Structure 1
């Protein structure tokens, strides 16, 4: 860098130094772009291009293999609010997002606080984390048989009560969404717990010890010290779980594939059903655009909140 200390040098020397500095900066920029070019190409080819094509497709009349060249304007988006299935799928998605945001966080935080200072912590962490390494389709297949009319859950309840118990957990509108949400929580609570344990480990011990010396209770320490310092990690976990709640498809499709109104289970399932079962590809693209906009809006709001929280902590 050319500093004020170089003011005593001749103009020619300063000009030559600035020219060399610009050449070095240009070479560094070219090298940097050379390294990131493969990533830029991959993201553009496999992410941005399909997204742009999907948005364009939502304004056409593409029905299976016809109508791609016909402009439909906002007809596909207007149809969203005229079809009752969309509103049902939207409400179920809202339930999904709230469940994915609250339940894994609540159980994961409870487990993290319980396991952080006990013996055999690593063993318990591994046990709770184990479901996360399983494929969602495998988890869905396992829990499908748990919730089956003559499956594990009904048999266990019948054995405890001594009375026949035959509830169609995955065949009723009142129970299908909570049942699949419970499965989602069972699979994701382990990773939530691990991330929160990392956040707890990063909290300095001095304020906690000082509060204990001053006679603060465990709840006061958690509320006034641990929770504010853990909040950035909580928001990161929330963003991940909310995005997963919006886009969960495999669990729903595997577990509730026989549910009569399966297209209403979530917007992701509704999008797939309309696109590939009904062949309404343009309309399915409109559903995908709305779903993507919702994910971006909610995660962006949470990211802004996270930045403000971190700024306040500093």
Structure 2
């Protein structure tokens, strides 16, 4: 016999009203949204407001419209910072990513491959300032590199590695490569291990080997990981600060500044908070746009495959 209808209704699980479920969801999401708003969105809005004012950190900001942006784009030092930042973006994509991929490919499949990658990974444990101090000792005038070149009777000992632009920017990109290539090699090594062996074996049977095998099979299957690594490199290069500060502090003068250093100097050294905020806003917009354009292009390429 079946239970009475009233008894069945009493034993059936009670469904929460839709409004109650919605309120519960809001209760779970609200703390995270509030935290992001407090630590990210509110400072961004305040920085945006300050960029339209003249403010030295004391008193009340004075609204001056777009004067800070006019002064920013009229300053040759700022335009040089934009050029140096572009050097950093291109150099960080080509060198740490390219070298990391090369290390991963050459060590892949070797016995104890991790031991081959470990020496390249150790510099990543150092802070950017520590890397800057180490390479400043190596590259300073009459430093370790110049003395080694003299001892080996090789050209280049007369070069002022950290004093002449854009040479100083290029050698600092090299120092950043020394720090970052190892972690990229680790990421690419993980990606190589996740590639299924069957397609590679089939390609070898068809006669593919060496660079042809890498170009036609391995590299396309690494595309999703490459998108992540290159994307992180672009964002990291746009906000590079610590290595440059540790090696040249943007000098001599301002010839090796990037946008991140210009923002810092204008704000905390020159006490031009409005101009510093304008540079910060410009850097934020450039970073977001670069990330969106790069990811949209990569996603479009992946859908077309």
The TM-score with structure 1 as length reference comes to 0.87
Q: Kindly indicate whether the alpha-carbon contact (under 8 Å) linking 2:266 and 2:275 is maintained by their aligned counterparts in 1.
A: yes
Q: 1:129 aligns with which of 115, 118, 121?
A: 121
Q: How do 1:212-227 and structure 2 match up within 5 A? A: 212-227=204-219
> Any idea what the Cα deviations from partners look like across 1:262-312, whole Å, max 9, x if unmatched?
365211111111111111110110001011100000111122223234434
In the TM superposition, what are the counterparts of 1:76-95 in structure 2 within 5 Å? 76-95=68-87
Aligned counterpart for 1:178 among listed residues 159, 170, 180: 170
Aligned counterpart, 2:17: 23
With over 3 angstroms needed to count, the CA separation of the structure-2 counterparts of 1:222 and 1:274, relative to structure 1, is: same
For residue 9 of structure 1, what is the aligned residue in structure 2?
A: none
Instruction: Say if 1:262 and 1:269, in contact at 8 Å, map to a contact too.
Output: no
Give, in whole Å, the separation in 2 of the partners of 1:163 and 1:247: 34
Shift of 1:47: 1.5
Contact 1:263/1:269, CA 8 A, preserved across alignment: no
| 1:273 match | 265
Correspondence 1:52 to 2:45? yes
Change (3 A) 1:307 1:258: closer
1:249 corresponds to which of 230, 241, 262: 241
Per-residue CA deviations over 1:7-66 (Å, capped at 9, x if unaligned) read xxxxxx9xxx9xx54527843x55544444443332221122111110111011113424
Note the aligned Cα RMSD (angstroms): 2.5
- Give 3-state SS (helix, strand or coil) of 1:81's partner: helix
For residues 212-245 of structure 1, the C-alpha deviation after alignment (integer angstroms, 9 at most, x for no partner) is: 1111232222111111111111111011011111
Which residue of the partner structure matches residue 187 of structure 1? 179
1:98-135 CA deviation, whole Å, 9 max, x = no partner? 11111111111111100111122111222211111111
TM-score normalized by the length of structure 2:
0.89
Q: Name stretches of at least 5 consecutive residues in structure 2 with no aligned partner.
A: 1-7
Instruction: Please say if residues 115 and 121 of structure 1, whose CA atoms lie closer than 8 Å, have aligned partners that are also in contact.
Output: yes
3-state SS of 1:161 partner: coil
Match of 1:61 in 2: 54
Shift in CA distance, 134/32, structure 1 to aligned 2, threshold 3 Å? farther
Gap runs ≥5 in structure 1: 1-12
Task: Name the CA shift for 1:205/1:162 in 2 (closer, same or farther; >3 Å).
Answer: closer
SS in 2 for 1:261: coil
Kindly report structure 1 stretches of 4+ aligned residues shifted beyond 6 Å.
none
